[in-house]
Structure 1
Amino acid sequence: MLIIQNIRFSRILRNTWKVDLIMIASCTVSYLVREYLIAHHFEIPSIIPTLLGTAIAFFIGFNNNQAYDRWWEARKIWGALVNDSRSFTRSLLNYVDGEEATVKKMIYRHLAFLYALKASLRGAVDEIYTKYLSEDDLREIEKHTNKHNALLNIQSKDLQKLSKANGIDGFRFIEINEMLTRFSDSMGMSERIKNTIFPTTYTYLTKVFIWLFVVTFTLVISQSAGIFAIFLGWLIGFVFVSTQVNGMSLVNPFENNSAGVPLNQITRTIEINLLQMLGETDIPEPVKPINDEYIL
C-alpha cells in the first residue's frame, strides 16, 4: 500500500514504458500513413476520436470504480480481522478460568491462522505459521488443503473442551464462538475476492479502444500539427493508459505489490498486539516501509 501523497514519475514510467513504446510506434505509423497515403484523398473527420474518447472515459471510469471497490472491501475485511483478533484474545485471557495453557495455545493458533490465510491469499509458500503450532496441530492440518480453515476447526474443538471443563460459562462460550464465526466469514470473503476474476472483456475492450483512439487522434491532429502529431498522440494516449493502469493495479488487492492491501503489516501488527497481551518479551519489529514509499 502506498504511504506517500505523490507518486514518482519514474514509477509511472516503469509501469507504462512498454505501452508507451507501442503507442509511439502506432502514432508514427499513423502519421506516415496519413502523410503519404491518404493526405491527398480525404480527411479523417474529428468526430471519430471524439466518440472513441467518450467511450474510453466510460470504460476506464467503470473499471477503476470496480477495482477500487474490490480493494476497499479487502481492506475493510482485514481491518475487521484486526479488531476481532484483539477482542478474541482479550476474551480468552479474561473470561477463561484455570486453563492458561489452552488459552495460550489458542492465541498462538490464531496467529498461525492469520499467517496461513495471508500466504494462501498471496499464493506464496510461507511456513511462518508453523512456529505457532504444536506437533499435534501440524499433524492435523497436514490432512487438509485449506490450512487456515483446518485451524479454525481445531479452535472450535478446543473451545468446546473449555466449555465441558467448566473453564468458561455459556454466555462467554457463545460470544467467543461468534468471533470464530466472524473469522470464518472474513476468510470466506477474502477468498471470494481472490478467486473472482475481474471480467476480462472490460479490460480487453478498454485497451482496444485506447489503441484505436490513439491511432485516429494522430490521423486527425496530423492534418494541422504535422509531425508533432506523433508526440501529441502519445501524450493523450499516455493519460488514458496511465489512468487505466492505475485502476487495474487495484483489481487483485492481495497481490504482493505496492498497490495491494498491506497484509504483511497488518498480520505483524496483530502479532505484536497479541504477544504483548500475553506478556511475551520476544516481540517482532513492525514492518518497515520500502524506500519510504509503500508497505507490503
Structure 2
Amino acid sequence: MLIYRNLKWSVILFYTWKSMLYYLILAFVVFLLHDYFSLLELHVPFTAISALSTALAIFLGFKTSNAYERWWEARQIWGSLVNYSRAWARQVITLVKAENPHQNSAVRELQHRMVYRHMGYVHALRVFLRKKHQYNQQGQEEIYEEPNEYSDTQAFLSSDEYEIFTQKNNPPNFLLEQQGKDMRIALDNGWLSDYRLIKLEETLVEFNNVQGRSERIKNTPFPRQYSFFSRVFVFIHASLLPFVFVEELGWASIPLSVIISFVFLCLDLIGERSEDPFENRLEDVPLTAISLTIETNLKEQWGDPRFPAKKDATHGIVL
C-alpha cells in the first residue's frame, strides 16, 4: 500500500515508459511530416477530440471508482479479521477453563495451540490469497514485492500439523477445521460448556466469512471488458491528439499531446492497478503489515513478549 503523498517518478516510469515513448515518437513524426515534409494534410477537428476526451474521462472515472470499491472492500474485510482475531484470543483464554486444577496444564496447552494456530491461519490466508501472482503484464517480476511462502506459518504449528497443512488444497481452511476439532476436545473434557462453545463457534464462522469474501474478490476478476476497452480507448485518444494540435501549435503540439496522453494513461492505470487488491503489489492491501499486527496483538494477549519485527515503509510502500 502506498502511504506517501508523492510517488517516485522511477516507479511511475516503470509502468508508463513504453506508452510514453510511443506518444513521444508519434507526436514527433506527425510534426515532421506536417511542418517539414508537407506530407500530412490530415487534421482532426478539436470538437471531435473534445467529445472523445469527455466520454473517455467518464468511462475511466467509472472504472476507477469501481476498482477502488474492490480495494476498499478488501481492506474492510481484513480490518474485521483484526477485530475477530483479538476476540478469538480473548475467548480462548477466558472461556476455555478446567474445573479440576490438575487439568490446568492441559488446558493451557490447548489454549496455546488454538491461539498460535490462529496466528498461523492469518499468515496462511495471506499467502493463499497472494500465491497465484507471479508476473506483471510485461512478463517481468514485480518490483517492491516480497517472498510469499507458507513457511511463515511453520513457527505456529506443530511439525506434524504443518506437514499435513502444506499438502492441502486450501491450507487456511484446514487450520479452521483443526480449531473446530480442538473445541470439540475441550467440550468433551468439560472445559467448555455448550454456551461457550457456541460463542467460540460464532467467531470461527466469522473467519470463514472473512476468507470466503476475500476469495470472492481474488477469484472474480474485474470485468475484463472494462480493462480491455479502456486500454483501447486510451490508445486511440493518444494517437489522435497530435493530429489535433499540429496545425495550430506546430512543435508545441509534441509536449502538449504527450502530457494529455499521460494524464489519461495514469487514470487508466490507477483503475487497473487497484482492481486486484491481493496480488502482492505495491498498491495492494497491506496483508503482511496486518498479519504482523494480528500476531503482535495475540502474542501480547497471551503474554509472549517475542513480538515480530515491524516492517517499516520502504520508499513509501507498506506490504
TM-score range normalised by the length of the shorter chain: over 0.9
CA contact (8 A) 2:30 2:40 kept: no
1:121-145 alpha-carbon deviations (Å, 9 max, x no partner): 1113331102211134234435521
Aligned-partner residue type, residue 256 of structure 2: L
Task: Please show how residues 63-212 of structure 1 align to structure 2 within 5 Å.
Answer: 63-98=63-98, 99-123=107-131, 124-212=148-236
Give TM-score, length-normalised by structure 1: 0.93
User: Equivalent of 1:37, from 19, 23, 39?
Assistant: 39
SS at match of 1:260: coil
Distance verdict in 2 for CA 1:214–1:82, change over 3 Å: same
The equivalent of 1:255 in structure 2 is 279
Aligned-partner residue type, residue 39 of structure 2: L
The equivalent of 2:4 in structure 1 is 4
SS at match of 1:285: coil
Task: Please show how residues 14-53 of structure 1 align to structure 2 within 5 Å.
Answer: 14-35=14-35, 36-39=38-41, 43-53=43-53
Give TM-score, length-normalised by structure 2: 0.87
Aligned counterparts of 1:168 and 1:278: Cα–Cα separation in 2: 19
CA contact (8 A) 2:67 2:272 kept: yes
Aligned counterparts of 1:10 and 1:152: Cα–Cα separation in 2: 42
Aligned counterparts of 1:204 and 1:86: Cα–Cα separation in 2: 42
Two-structure CA RMSD over aligned residues (Å): 1.7
Aligned-partner residue type, residue 69 of structure 2: D
SS at match of 2:117: helix
- Structure 1 unaligned residues grouped into runs of 5+: none
The equivalent of 1:281 in structure 2 is 305
User: Equivalent of 1:271, from 295, 311, 314?
Assistant: 295
SS at match of 2:150: coil
Q: What is the deviation of 1:254?
A: 1.3
Q: What is the deviation of 1:168?
A: 1.4
Distance verdict in 2 for CA 1:142–1:236, change over 3 Å: closer
Q: What is the deviation of 1:148?
A: 0.5
The equivalent of 1:62 in structure 2 is 62
Aligned counterparts of 1:140 and 1:43: Cα–Cα separation in 2: 68
CA contact (8 A) 1:23 1:211 kept: no
CA contact (8 A) 2:150 2:166 kept: no
Aligned-partner residue type, residue 119 of structure 2: L
CA contact (8 A) 1:111 1:271 kept: yes
1:223-275 alpha-carbon deviations (Å, 9 max, x no partner): 10012212111010011111221222111111222211111110001111111
Q: What is the deviation of 1:108?
A: 1.0
Give the count of matched residue pairs: 293
The equivalent of 2:243 in structure 1 is 219
CA contact (8 A) 1:27 1:214 kept: no
The equivalent of 1:234 in structure 2 is 258
Aligned counterparts of 1:290 and 1:63: Cα–Cα separation in 2: 29
Identity value in percent: 34
Distance verdict in 2 for CA 1:107–1:170, change over 3 Å: same
Q: What is the deviation of 1:89?
A: 0.3
Q: What is the deviation of 1:33?
A: 4.9
SS at match of 1:286: coil
Aligned-partner residue type, residue 318 of structure 2: I
Aligned-partner residue type, residue 53 of structure 2: G
- Structure 2 unaligned residues grouped into runs of 5+: 99-106, 132-147
Aligned-partner residue type, residue 237 of structure 1: S
